[in-house]
Amino acid sequence: MPITFNEAAKSFKLTAKDTTYVMQVAPGGYLAHTYFGKALPDDDLTYLLRLTEPPFTPETNDRDRSSYMDCLPLEYPCFGVGDYREHVFSIVDENGATAADLRYNSHKIYDGKPVLEGLPATFANDPSEAQTLEVTLEDKVAGLEATLIYTAFTNLDVITRSLIVKNAGTANVQLTRVYSACVDFDNDEMDMITLNGSWARERHPDRCRLRRGKQSVDSLKGEPGHQYNPFTALCSHNADEDSGEAYGFNFVYSGNFVSEAETTQFGRTRFVMGINPVDFGWLLEPGESFTAPEVVMVYSDSGLGKMSRTFHDLYRNNLIRGEYRDKRRPILINNWEATYFDFSTEKLVQIAEQASKLGIEMLVMDDGWFGHRDSDNSSLGDWFVYEKKLEGGLKALVDKVNSFGMKFGIWFEPEMISPDSELYRAHPDWAIQIKGRPLTMSREQYVLDYSRKDVRDYIYGMMRKILDSANIEYIKWDMNRQITEPASNALPKERQREIWHRYVLGVYDLMNRLTTDYPYILLENCSGGGARYDPGMLYFSPQIWCSDDTDAIERLKIQHGTSLCYPCSSMGAHVSDCPNHTVGRQTPFATRGHVAMVGTFGYELDVTRIPQEDRDAIPAQIEEFRKYNPLVRTGDHYRIGNMFEDNTWDAWEFVAKDKSEALLEFVQVLRRPNMHSRRIRLKGLDPDAYYYDESAPDKKYSGAALMHAGVIIPEQWGDFRSVIMHFIRA
Q: Any idea which residues carry the catalytic annotation?
A: 478, 548
CA–CA dist 593, 622 (Å, integer): 9
Strand partners, 292: 163
CA 72, CA 50: separation in Å to the nearest integer? 9
- Residue 484 burial (CB count, 10 A): 17
Measured CA to CA, the distance from residue 102 to residue 107 in angstroms comes to 14
- Burial status of residue 708 (CB atoms within 10 A of its CB: 0-12, 13-18, 19 or more): exposed
* AA letter at 173: V
Burial 101-118 (b: 16+ CB within 10 A, else e): bbbbbebebebebeebee
Q: Return the bridge partners of 726, or none.
A: 663
d(CA 232, CA 453): 34
Question: Cis omega before residue 77 (within 30°)?
Answer: no
Q: By CB neighbour count within 10 A (0-12 exposed, 13-18 middle, 19+ buried), where does 322 fall?
A: middle
DSSP 63-99: GGHHHHHHHS-BSS-BTTSS--S--SEEEE-TTS---
Q: How far is 561 from 318, CA to CA, in rounded Å?
A: 22
What phi and psi values does residue 139 have, to the nearest 5 degrees? -115, 100
Q: Where are the alpha helices (DSSP H) in 191-298?
A: none
CB 58 within 8 A of CB 26: no
User: Which letter does DSSP use for residue 445 in this model?
Assistant: B
Helix or strand or coil: residue 613?
A: helix
Q: DSSP label at 460?
A: H
- Burial (Cβ within 10 Å: 0-12, 13-18, ≥19) of residue 195: buried
Which residues, including other chains, have CB under 8 Å from residue 62's CB and lie 6 or more apart? Answer: none
Residue 160's DSSP bridge partners are: 151, 296
Nearest to 712 by CA among 697, 698, 725: 725
- How many helices (H) and strands (E) the chain has is answered by 14, 38
What is the SS3 assignment for 105-116? EEEEEEECCCCC
| Amino acid at site 466 | I
Closest CA to 484 of 467, 471, 503, 460: 503
C-alpha separations of 623 from 317, 359, 654 in Å = 26, 9, 18
How does 359-391 read in b/e, with b if 16+ C-beta sit within 10 Å?
A: ebbbbbbbbbbbbebeebebbbbbbebbeebbe
- Residue 245 DSSP code: -
Phi, psi dihedral angles at 34 (to 5 degrees): -110, -45
For the chain, how far is it from start to end, CA to CA, in angstroms? 39
Rg over CA atoms, the chain = 27
d(C-alpha 156, C-alpha 17), whole Å: 5
Strand partners, 693: 696, 727
> Could you give the CA distance from residue 3 to residue 150 in angstroms, rounded to a whole number?
10
Count Cβ atoms below 10 Å from residue 596 Cβ, excluding itself: 26
